[in-house]
Amino acid sequence: MIVMKVKLDNLYAFKDFEIDMSYPKKTVKSSIESEHLHRYPNFRYKKVNIIIGSNASGKTTLGKAMMNILNFITTKRTGELEASIRDNTRPASFTFDFVDREYKLNRMVLDIMPSTNARNRYVFSYDSEVIRIRDSYQTCVTRLESRGRTYCDLSNTLNAIDSSGWVFSYPDERMGIGQSGSQETQLKTLRAILMTLDPSITDVRLLEGVKDTSFIIEKDGREVLLQNGKLTAPERFSSGTLEGITIAGFLAGIIDGLYGFYYCDEHFSYIHSYIEKRILGIMISKLGMDDQLFFTTHNETVLEENLPKHAYTFLVRENGIIKALYANDYVQKPSANLRRAVENDIIRVIPDDCHLDDLED
């Protein structure tokens, strides 16, 4: 699954919110390989989406909203979506454009009416368009929209949609090692990441003779068991090292191509920025054809990476409402320094610090 556009209204802090994962102009000598659909060179999509924002700007919330939509497609249950409605006295909605494995562009729209209108609570439409060899996202959308919305039965329609191939990982909902990738890949990623984050870890090896994938971590001359993603002595590890276990599992899934769609949310808050950039670079290099990565951070040093400008999206919150700003709308020259543009407030994403003035007076 490749997500092309998401619109959200009255869900969480999103009001008339839109985020677009297409880009119109081919990037010359891009550092990201194959940023288009396989065999459809004009159908360009953002293979790497670096979502940057300050605290409470909506980075995690965006992931939660997208996960709620995908869970809705998979389970046909609306409970998570309804729980995220901001104002129950007015309609809430989402529009979700995605490409499936059959190379069709799909558009799903769900309007949730106020709870007082129980008889017609949900208004659901689903449309799809076969992608042609010369299509871009924009030309395909034009054909799809020319027919208008096709209103249909929610349950029967969702039964026919393949929504497999996605994973979200959050700091509060960790994806443990042992749950993704082959044993060889898991061991390789876990050893490399943990021994980088904690020099007192001298070895990581598989625990032989058990049914599930478990590991022995040697730290300061003692052995710690990692089984089913849980440590027997977590207090012996720093916050960054604990996050490293989740990161290793996430990376193992990318290397083995398990999912296709990956959302990595702020797992590097306790990790040195240099290591964050290094691991991000490995994640990008291991993405397969038609894969897509979302990576959220508030670390502006990632702006120094050799990535096309369209890979960066900034989330800001103005008057309580979340907005998406695209770096390539503000900084268009390939040679321009994106981090300097942010520091000079050209993109206007620097947090408002006026309340700190009171402490300096």
Same domain flag for 110 and 13: yes
Same domain flag for 117 and 142: yes
Same domain flag for 125 and 95: yes
Tell me if 143 is assigned to some domain.
yes
Residue found by looking up tokens 């290099």 in the block: 285
What is the CATH number for 308?
A: 3.40.50.300
Same domain flag for 161 and 189: no
Tell me if 13 is assigned to some domain.
yes
User: For a pLDDT cut of 70, what percent of the chain falls above it?
Assistant: 96
Provide the residue range defining the domain that includes 323. 2-165+298-350
Within 10 A of 275 (CB to CB), how many other CB atoms are there?
16
Tell me if 270 is assigned to some domain.
no
Q: What is the pLDDT of residue 117?
A: 61
For 47, half-sphere exposure in the C-beta direction (CA atoms, 13 angstrom radius) is 25
The residues, ordered by sequence, that sit 6+ positions from 9 with a Cβ below 8 Å of its Cβ are 15, 16, 17, 91, 92, 93, 94
Q: What is the pLDDT of residue 116?
A: 67
Same domain flag for 57 and 75: yes
Tell me if 38 is assigned to some domain.
yes
Same domain flag for 49 and 158: yes
CB 330 within 8 A of CB 341: yes
pLDDT under 70 in the chain at which residues?
28, 116-119, 173-180
Same domain flag for 65 and 187: no
Q: What is the pLDDT of residue 294?
A: 98
Q: What is the pLDDT of residue 26?
A: 73
Same domain flag for 111 and 17: yes
Pairing of strands 40-44, 166-169: unpaired
- Among candidate residues 232, 249, 266, the one where a domain is terminated: 249
- Among candidate residues 229, 249, 269, the one where a domain is terminated: 249
Tell me if 277 is assigned to some domain.
no
Same domain flag for 70 and 198: no
307 CB-contact burial (10 Å; exposed 0-12 / middle 13-18 / buried 19+): buried
For the full predicted model, state whether its pTM sits above 0.85.
yes
Same domain flag for 9 and 150: yes
- Among candidate residues 230, 249, 268, the one where a domain is terminated: 249
How many distinct helices (H) and strands (E) make up the chain?
A: 10, 17
Same domain flag for 113 and 148: yes
pLDDT tens-digit map of 111-162: 999 976 666 789 999 999 999 999 999 999 999 999 999 999 888 899 888 8
Pairwise CA distance, residues 292 & 160, whole Å? 23
Q: What is the pLDDT of residue 177?
A: 55
Tell me if 272 is assigned to some domain.
no
Count of the separate structural domains present in the chain: 2
Same domain flag for 57 and 8: yes
Three-state DSSP class for residue 281: helix
Tell me if 320 is assigned to some domain.
yes
Tell me if 108 is assigned to some domain.
yes
